Amino acid sequence: DTGVSQNPRHKITKRGQNVTFRCDPISEHNRLYWYRQTLGQGPEFLTYFQNEAQLEKSRLLSDRFSAERPKGSFSTLEIQRTEQGDSAMYLCASSSRGEGEQYFGPGTRLTVT
Amino acid sequence: GEDVEQSLFLSVREGDSSVINCTYTDSSSTYLYWYKQEPGAGLQLLTYIFSNMDMKQDQRLTVLLNKKDKHLSLRIADTQTGDSAIYFCAEPDRGSTLGRLYFGRGTQLTVWP
């Protein structure tokens, strides 16, 4: 399967714990995006990488959130000191060009108890 | 680009046509996208249309674009129960060339046998 993959698919954590998610984009795609989706809403943009450079962060991305793409391949999204409001589906997408079609992974569903 | 609007629900009988409507905000958007999301899954790119086109047909899917009214529609012919899902339209953020997408809230399509 050469699509976008995300791990884990589900994560349940207690409030205050740290969590880390991983995204593996389509191999030849140099652009990688993170979105967050809450119930009944469309995905909302969090951050964007072109190769290893993080070029844009949404105001939704508080200081507790950090994302990396160290070698321009896979990316990680870490949430520190999780809060119940962080419960959502975290989606990763990749693209080969700006304004090009973005291909999404299956998402990681985070539940903070 | 932040106010992509869609009606929230649509119910049709199997075999009928479905029409899902969307209004977008940025008249300079070059591409407009339709994504499908099944329960608990990520987003699947269905189709897209370039802004210099009025219509695009792809098997059972027909996309119509009215740039003057900033209106986009997705018609699904011979709708099947497997088409039951949430459908999102999306436009790119033209404020930069980074390609973040703005999504509507999605239209829940229910197909009755």
B52 interaction partners in chain A (CB closer than 8 Å): none
Residue whose structure tokens are 């088409």:
B83
Say yes or no to pLDDT of B1 above 80.
no
pLDDT number for residue A57? 87
- Rounded to 5 degrees, φ, ψ at B100 are -60, 145
pLDDT number for residue B2? 65
Q: Do A91 and B43 touch (CB under 8 A)?
A: yes
Lowest mean pLDDT among A34-43, A49-58, B10-19, B21-30: B21-30
How many CB atoms are located within 10 Å of the residue A79 CB? Answer: 23
Partner-chain residue, chosen from A95, A104, A109, that has the shortest CB–CB distance to B43: A104
Q: Do B100 and A33 touch (CB under 8 A)?
A: yes
pLDDT number for residue B95? 64
Please tell me whether residue A62 adopts helix, strand or coil conformation: coil
Partner-chain residue, chosen from B31, B35, B98, that has the shortest CB–CB distance to A48: B98
B44 interaction partners in chain A (CB closer than 8 Å): 104
Write out pLDDT tens, residues A26-53.
998 999 999 999 999 999 999 999 999 9
How many CB atoms are located within 10 Å of the residue A96 CB? Answer: 14
Residue A85 per-residue DSSP state: G
Distances A61 to A78, A87, B23, B67 between C-alpha atoms, Å:
11, 14, 27, 33
Q: Do B42 and A107 touch (CB under 8 A)?
A: yes
* Cα A102 to Cα A4: distance, rounded to the nearest angstrom: 10
What six digits make up the tokens of A74? 């896979």
How many CB atoms are located within 10 Å of the residue A3 CB? Answer: 14
Among residues A21, A2, A35, the alpha carbon closest in space to that of B99 is found at A35
